[in-house]
Amino acid sequence: MLTLRQMTYFVALAEQRSFSAAAEVVHVTQPALSQQIKEMETTLGTRLVERLPRDIRLTRAGQVVLERCHEILAMTRNLETEIRLSKGLTGRLTLGVIPTIAPYLLPRALTRIKSAALDLDMRVREAQTAELVSSVQNGKLDAAVIALPHDTGGLMAQPLFTDHFLLAGSQSRIEALTAQSAPRPTDLSPDALLLLDEGHCLADQALDVCGLKRTRQTVDLGASSLATLCGLVAQGFGLTFLPEIALCSEMAASPDMAVLRFPEPQPERTVALVRRQSTEVKTWFNELAVLLTEAGEELMVAARARA
Amino acid sequence: MLTLRQMTYFVALAEQRSFSAAAEVVHVTQPALSQQIKEMETTLGTRLVERLPRDIRLTRAGQVVLERCHEILAMTRNLETEIRLSKGLTGRLTLGVIPTIAPYLLPRALTRIKSAALDLDMRVREAQTAELVSSVQNGKLDAAVIALPHDTGGLMAQPLFTDHFLLAGSQSRIEALTAQSAPRPTDLSPDALLLLDEGHCLADQALDVCGLKRTRQTVDLGASSLATLCGLVAQGFGLTFLPEIALCSEMAASPDMAVLRFPEPQPERTVALVRRQSTEVKTWFNELAVLLTEAGEELMVAARARA
DNA sequence: GCTTTCTGATTAGATAACATGATCGAACAG
DNA sequence: CTGTTCGATCATGTTATCTAATCAGAAAGC
């Protein structure tokens, strides 16, 4: 009989295209993985991977097997989390959070969870929206915190709170802007904007509300965190959008930075918690949503006291 | 992580409604099964079965889990056989055959398989149509030989050969019938007919072609094999329908028995090989069908030489 | 051409997962 | 009360699976 372990290893192998790399991903040594793959090929009576120099290739059968293994593993993971969490917010919970939210929301959320004395073993994974969505779909994550609007790929989304975009820059730049008039997002020159790397929803959403497109000229500094970005704009390297949720932390980290709230209608994103539709009993989900909303609101209140 | 082993044990437990019985079914001792179920309940953090005196009951969660386990196990088994057999008729093949065909067709079929020098480890399971169909569906069997017309539950059916129903009885009874005229199925009195137990498709199909219904008066002798039935009719206990496929063997076993072929249109059944639709590469299936057809035809030819 | 490096296979020994056999206690029938 | 049935538990044995060390072949560097 094939085993789920073998399937797990095989999926990792197909993804990594390397025995050693796959072994690392599943936290075993390379011989252990090689052996399981071999065993799998024996039970199926067919070669699944062609071992090429520096690469592997799935055989025809291997491709079929891979697809099915994905399905079987997803079903198993879904079953597990569904049942495990059906009693409420207890047991192990694997939560994904996007990078522009995680460092600000999680500390407060975890404090709340702890003080609620919940018997919860929470694992957090930070990744970009697309990856989080697919991980929730295939059961690698139980839920994820992402920012809407964004394609949720058929997942159920529970809005948590609204996060406004502020304009951040060096104090002189911001003063120059306010001197003229209340700036509107659409007035901004795209060339002066510093944005996060490709793939971060924040950049795309921010540009979207301004009716702008990502220009080639944008200085691509490889900024992959808001903290880096804030450090840069504080030094006068340009302007950036800063979500309210990050304001308190980043103001503390970069005291030279100034921020400006846009006039209504303010550009914003909706922070939401997503889960699979199939998740049967959703008490834990609602409990978690409440906790995260409270944590978020706290940050919003603090932010509004500063801008 | 849940394991397929745990799921297998759990499914057996749900079916048997007893730990000891389930353990026997999966060929382990009772403590081994108890332990795996316990482990499963631990991983899921929920009780799955209520241990009642002399019985068990699935909890709400248990029912959900059972359903999913069935799906996951079926997918795994299907994947295995699909890949294993995709190269042709090799490896292990688990075939189901109905009881009114198995003892006659299998000896010849197995001889052919052996002489074809196929590297085939064939397991045979004898059961009634309904059970075979569901076993093929959930992957416990790779294919099954059944008799049509019968509900195939969405399975693909490959007709192998046509098997006519003959009328069998003691020599005196048969002579009495032929003296009058060529008997037609619809002329027969249901009370004089001996049939197999409930559940055997042969009895139902035979009655169906005669336009008869199973009557209460039919002597219910608990005959569950054609061999028994032939022995009885040979002793003058009544008449029965005998499929051509069984003729040679049963004539040899009961020399006192006489048979009579009905005039055209002869009542008949179609012997067919069924498989899941999802079975991807079907070379092995066709090879097997050819072998079985040849074996069947051989029996038909031999039968026609005698009636 | 010769080494170095990267990759997966192989082997032997350790470890964890799983099974067994014996035994216990609760529930029930006689 | 006694014997029986059934599942839990415990000590122990077996098998599956892992790791660490090593090997062999192909590509890349010198």
CA–C1' A50–D28 (A): 22
Write out the H or E segment, with its range, that includes residue A179: helix A171-180
Q: What integer pLDDT is reported at residue B212 of this predicted model?
A: 63
Q: Name the residue with the least CA to C1' distance from nucleotide C22.
A: B31
Long-range contacts of B13-18 (CB under 8 A, 24+ apart): B13/B37, B13/B49, B13/B56, B14/B49, B14/B58, B14/B62, B14/B66, B17/B55, B17/B56, B18/B55, B18/B56
Q: Which chain A residues have a beta carbon less than 8 Å from that of B72? A: 72, 75-76, 79
- Indicate yes or no: pTM above 0.95: no
- For chain A, give the percent of residues with pLDDT over 70: 85
Q: What integer pLDDT is reported at residue B217 of this predicted model?
A: 44
Do B263 and B178 touch, CB atoms closer than 8 A? no
Q: What integer pLDDT is reported at residue A72 of this predicted model?
A: 96
Do B196 and B128 touch, CB atoms closer than 8 A? no
Crossing angle for the helix pair A4-16 and A30-44, to the nearest 10 degrees? 110
**Predicted confidence (pLDDT) per residue in A115-170, tens digit:** 876 677 788 888 888 888 888 888 888 899 998 888 787 888 899 999 988 888 88
| Between residues A27 and B210, the one the model is more confident about | A27
Residue B90: closest CA among chain A residues belongs to which residue? A45
Instruction: Answer yes or no: do A61 and B45 touch at CB < 8 A.
Output: no
Q: What integer pLDDT is reported at residue B191 of this predicted model?
A: 61
Q: What integer pLDDT is reported at residue B185 of this predicted model?
A: 61
Q: Which chain A residues have a beta carbon less than 8 Å from that of B64? A: 79, 82-83, 280
Instruction: Answer yes or no: do A71 and B68 touch at CB < 8 A.
Output: no
Query: Chain A closest CA to B64's CA: distance in Å?
Result: 8
pLDDT above 70: residue A12: yes
Residue with tokens 């978020």: A296
Query: Chain B closest CA to A70's CA: distance in Å?
Result: 11
Rg (CA), chain B: 23
Interface residues of B toward A, Cβ cutoff 8 Å, are: 1-5, 43-46, 61, 64-65, 68-69, 71-72, 75-76, 79-80, 82-84, 86-87, 90-91, 280
Distance CA B307, CA B302 (A): 9
Q: What does the DSSP 8-state code read for residue B225?
A: S
Q: What integer pLDDT is reported at residue A214 of this predicted model?
A: 57
Count Cβ atoms below 10 Å from residue B43 Cβ, excluding itself.
17
Do A96 and A144 touch, CB atoms closer than 8 A? yes
Q: What does the DSSP 8-state code read for residue B188?
A: S
Q: What integer pLDDT is reported at residue A35 of this predicted model?
A: 96
Distance CA B298, CA B307 (A): 15
**Predicted confidence (pLDDT) per residue in A245-290, tens digit:** 988 888 887 788 888 888 878 888 899 999 988 666 567 888 889 8
Burial A42-51 (b: 16+ CB within 10 A, else e): ebbbbebbee
Residues in chain B with pLDDT values less than 50:
216-220
Instruction: Answer yes or no: do A280 and B64 touch at CB < 8 A.
Output: yes
Give the closest nucleotide to A18 (alpha carbon vs C1'): C7
**Predicted confidence (pLDDT) per residue in B10-65, tens digit:** 999 999 999 999 999 999 999 999 999 999 999 998 999 998 888 899 998 999 99
CA–C1' A16–D22 (A): 25
Q: What integer pLDDT is reported at residue A41 of this predicted model?
A: 93
Highest mean pLDDT among A8-17, A93-102, A218-227, B203-212: A8-17
Instruction: Answer yes or no: do B80 and A45 touch at CB < 8 A.
Output: no
Assigned token pair, A244? 């309210």
Instruction: Answer yes or no: do A45 and B75 touch at CB < 8 A.
Output: no
Assigned token pair, A142? 């139980």
Mean predicted lDDT score pLDDT of chain A:
82
